Amino acid sequence: MALRIACDLDGTLADMDGALQHHAEVLFGLGVELRGGGSSLEQVMSPEGIETGEVVLKRGKGLNDRQMKELWSYVSRIENFWTMLTEIEEGSVARFAELAKAHKWEVLFLTQRPATAGDTAQRQTQRWLSTHGFELPSVMVMQGSRGKVAAAMNLHVVLDDRAENCLDVATESKARPMLIWRGTPDTVPPGAKRLGIEPLFSIADALGQLEHMTSTRAKTPGLVDRVRNAIGL
């Protein structure tokens, strides 16, 4: 059976932070910072996170909750905002597509992107992936646990840049989480290592791991082959 892979987008393949940083500077001036205190943009983009004040960005001229809400309100009015992002690693989407075709991987892209003006977040994401070289991409705009999605869809691997999502995958499914960590090795959450979630520091490294898994699986006899060998066929 070919690998069934799910891959996150923002922070994993697409540079959402860079785009939001640009628009934050347009609104609030140079020197503002989106991240601080270990917080995550995908947490603050959630209406629940904003309303309850769970995330406050404090590093440098960090945005407060009111400013973050204003930023996302501004972004939501930009037509087809999600089609305008750049790749974090140039050429990684096309390379992913090339390997998926060669190894017959089944790939699903997962995202929690909110709606903006223009097409739906799903269609914008499909257009972005197609533009960067992944033809006919399958995209799921979702809420909730990545682990439950992995279990329901019988996935083998989930690529994500957030440790908490990898934890969900590790505890709620049989899929292997691959943490694409965009920080330095010393900033990897200790809990990830305790659970055996080894960080990878680029998509290129992750694709290499996926190729290795594919090669290993090809050398491992399946149930039918083991039965045939047992009875001498």
- Residue 96: strand, helix, or coil: helix
Element (H, E) at 34: none
Q: Does domain 4-14+82-220 have CATH number 3.40.50.1000?
A: yes
CA distances (Å), 193 to each of 114, 171, 176, 189, 198, in order?
31, 14, 14, 7, 6
Question: Among residues of the chain, what percentage have pLDDT more than 90?
Answer: 73
Min mean pLDDT across 114-128, 162-176, 200-214, 218-232 is at 218-232
Closest of 11, 13, 80, 79 to residue 45, by C-alpha: 11
pLDDT tens digits for 123-141? 999 999 999 999 999 999 9
CA 59/CA 37 separation, integer angstroms: 6
- pLDDT tens readout for residues 64-105: 899 999 999 999 999 999 999 999 999 999 999 999 999 999
In the chain, domain spans? 4-14+82-220, 17-81
pLDDT of residue 221: 57
Please give the torsion angle defined by the CA atoms of residues 49, 55, 61 and 67, in that order, rounded to the nearest 10 degrees: 20
Task: Quote the pTM value.
Answer: 0.83
- What are the two backbone dihedrals, phi and then psi, of residue 117, each rounded to the nearest 5 degrees? -60, 150
List the structure tokens of 77. Answer: 């009015």
Tokens of 210: 């996926």
Which of 171, 220, 219 shows the shortest CA–CA distance to 197? 171
Mind listing the pLDDT tens digit for each residue in 12-68? 999 999 999 999 999 999 888 886 533 333 344 444 443 333 333 334 468 889 999
User: Residue 207 in 3-state DSSP?
Assistant: helix
Q: pLDDT at position 66, please?
A: 93
